[in-house]
Copies of this chain bind each other. A is one copy, B any other.
Amino acid sequence: MRATILNCTLKPSPEPSNTDALAELVAAGLRELGADVRTIRLVDHDIKPGVSSDMGDGDEWPGIREKILNSEILIMASPTWVGHPSSIAQRAIERMDAMLSETGDDGTPVAYNRVAGVVVTGNEDGAHHVISEINGALGDIGFTIPGQAWVYWNMGPGPGPSYSDTDHGHQYVHQVAGLMAKNLYAVAAALRDRPIPAEIPRGED
């Protein structure tokens, strides 16, 4: 099983990223289950605005798209800015919009039979909404969202510390990140064994 994590932090490498630190817990859980996991920090790449799979002229999205489509598991990892997914996360989602009209060999949309989950950090409230926003978009495109396939960290009320600044809640997120890895892996495996068919035979049960 292969997993791609898109780290949607606003901070370019080599700045430390809280989002990366939290996503690494999920990556570790997936690796323990036998998955290959790679992480791409999107802000380090030139991803052009637009809604096609290739916007030409230095656009680095095509290579990232290929990695997504070589994986059974997609994880969007985003900071919370003003209560929303980051502009980098939204940029990636806009580019994935093109997948709506792209189909694989069996005629189903390319995102079918892939699963997705969300990792969210923040120095303030907003994570559940970020999860709903990203999953809403990915479900639209065709990804399946396993139950409880997310992990988040923040500490309210009001602006507070970042994930890496404190130990508060770390035990909780370790546990939830492990659960997320398990659920992503299990549903990806179920869909590998019994994929959504192009057509379902009628009258079956």
Q: A residues bordering B, Cβ < 8 Å?
A: 1, 10, 12, 32-35, 43, 49-51, 81-88, 90-91, 93-94, 96-97, 109, 111-112, 124-129, 131-133, 135-150, 152-158, 169, 172-173, 176, 182-183, 185-187, 189-191, 193-197, 200, 202-205
Contact = CB atoms under 8 A, between A and B. Distances in A.
A150 B156 contact: no
A93 B84 contact: yes
Given A87-B90, A186-B196, A140 B157 contact: no
Contact of A83 (B34, B132, B155, B187): B132
Given A132-B132, A148-B140, A194-B190, A32 B202 contact: yes
Copies of the chain in the assembly: 4
A148 B139 contact: yes
24 contacts: A10-B94, A33-B202, A34-B205, A81-B90, A81-B97, A82-B140, A83-B128, A83-B140, A84-B90, A87-B94, A109-B147, A128-B129, A135-B145, A139-B146, A139-B147, A139-B150, A143-B147, A144-B145, A144-B146, A153-B157, A156-B156, A157-B172, A182-B197, A186-B194
